Copies of this chain bind each other. A is one copy, B any other.
Amino acid sequence: MRYELYYWPSIQGRGEFVRLALEDAGAQYTDVARLSKRDGGGTQAMMQLLEATELAHPAFAPPILKAGSQLIAQTANILLFLGPRLDLVPKNEAARFWAHQLQLTIMDLVAEAHDSHHPIAASRYFEEQKTEARRRAGDFTATRVPKFLGYFERALARNGAGRHMVGRACSYVDLSMFQVVAGLRYAFPAAMLRTQAEYPRLAALHDRVAERPRIAAYLASKRRLPFNEQGIFRHYAELDEGR
């Protein structure tokens, strides 16, 4: 099976959680919008799929995964679908619901990370909501990040030797957790530096994922887009604490 991923070609964003799973599994996939227009790529290719009026199962937003004739959207839903196919989730059903539960909680944190710089309207510029963003980002780093990361740290600690979020091997949840830690460190270096000692297991998990051979190769490649200020995790010095 060759998968097709449809996502914005210039940001990590939510698509990155899917990319990390496909990369770690060594899956064959095309990151369609990153192909040249000549090869049927570009943002246009993604927009065409989003707006196609003949689709029975239209997507509200990217990322969208095409697997044969099946189209699947919503990041956590894509990972629910890919998990068993890429051997990135345990086999038993209860563990799969647990993995999905953790992934949905990760996606909640991701949505809040986005709103930390866009608390009023995603459709308006950051500069139009900077004052509000300062207040929201302050609450996000002081209250929400510790609540989420404290929760994930506890969940990790309760899972056997505390080396994996779910089960006894690397799952898509570990890959997503890596991305969240990396993203928060990029966006809020001061806040994360101050509190990092409180999440030793998550920090170690981040490092182990980064060293997985296929992930390390991916991170060193041009396929890994850099963090930037168009994505979800953005670094604005005025939103990081103590600035």
Interface residues of A (CB under 8 A from B): 55-60, 70, 72-74, 76-77, 80-81, 94, 97-98, 100-101, 104-105, 108, 111, 115, 119-121, 123-124, 129, 132, 135-136, 139, 143, 148, 151, 154-155, 158-159
Determine the chain B residues whose CB is within 8 A of the CB of A120 once the complex forms. 119, 132, 135-136, 139
The listed residue (B74, B101, B104) touching A105 by CB distance below 8 A is: B74
Determine the chain B residues whose CB is within 8 A of the CB of A74 once the complex forms. 100-101, 104-105
Determine the chain B residues whose CB is within 8 A of the CB of A56 once the complex forms. 158-159
Which residue, of A81, A120, A151, has the highest number of chain B Cβ atoms within 10 A?
A: A120
User: Can you name 6 A-B pairs with beta carbons within 8 Å?
Assistant: A58-B155, A60-B108, A60-B151, A74-B101, A108-B111, A119-B132
Once A94-B70, A119-B136 are accepted as A-B contacts, the answer to whether A148 and B60 lie under 8 Å apart by CB is yes
User: Is there contact, CB below 8 Å, between B100 and A121?
Assistant: no
User: Is there contact, CB below 8 Å, between A76 and B104?
Assistant: yes
Question: Least Cβ distance of A172 to chain B in Å?
Answer: 15
Copies of this chain, tallied across the complex: 2
Complex Cα distance, B121 from A94, in Å, reads: 33
Determine the chain B residues whose CB is within 8 A of the CB of A119 once the complex forms. 115, 119-120, 132, 136
Closest Cβ neighbor of A123 among chain B residues: B143
User: Is there contact, CB below 8 Å, between B159 and A136?
Assistant: no
Once A57-B98, A72-B97, A104-B76 are accepted as A-B contacts, the answer to whether A139 and B121 lie under 8 Å apart by CB is yes
Complex Cα distance, B191 from A107, in Å, reads: 29
User: Is there contact, CB below 8 Å, between B151 and A139?
Assistant: no
Once A70-B94, A115-B115, A120-B119 are accepted as A-B contacts, the answer to whether A57 and B101 lie under 8 Å apart by CB is yes
Determine the chain B residues whose CB is within 8 A of the CB of A76 once the complex forms. 104
Complex Cα distance, B60 from A154, in Å, reads: 11
Complex Cα distance, B60 from A135, in Å, reads: 24
Q: Which 5 A-B pairs have the closest CB atoms?
A: A121-B139, A74-B104, A60-B105, A74-B101, A119-B119
User: Is there contact, CB below 8 Å, between B121 and A136?
Assistant: yes
Determine the chain B residues whose CB is within 8 A of the CB of A98 once the complex forms. 57
Complex Cα distance, B121 from A220, in Å, reads: 37
Once A80-B100, A94-B70, A100-B77 are accepted as A-B contacts, the answer to whether A58 and B151 lie under 8 Å apart by CB is yes
Question: Least Cβ distance of A100 to chain B in Å?
Answer: 5
User: Is there contact, CB below 8 Å, between B111 and A135?
Assistant: no
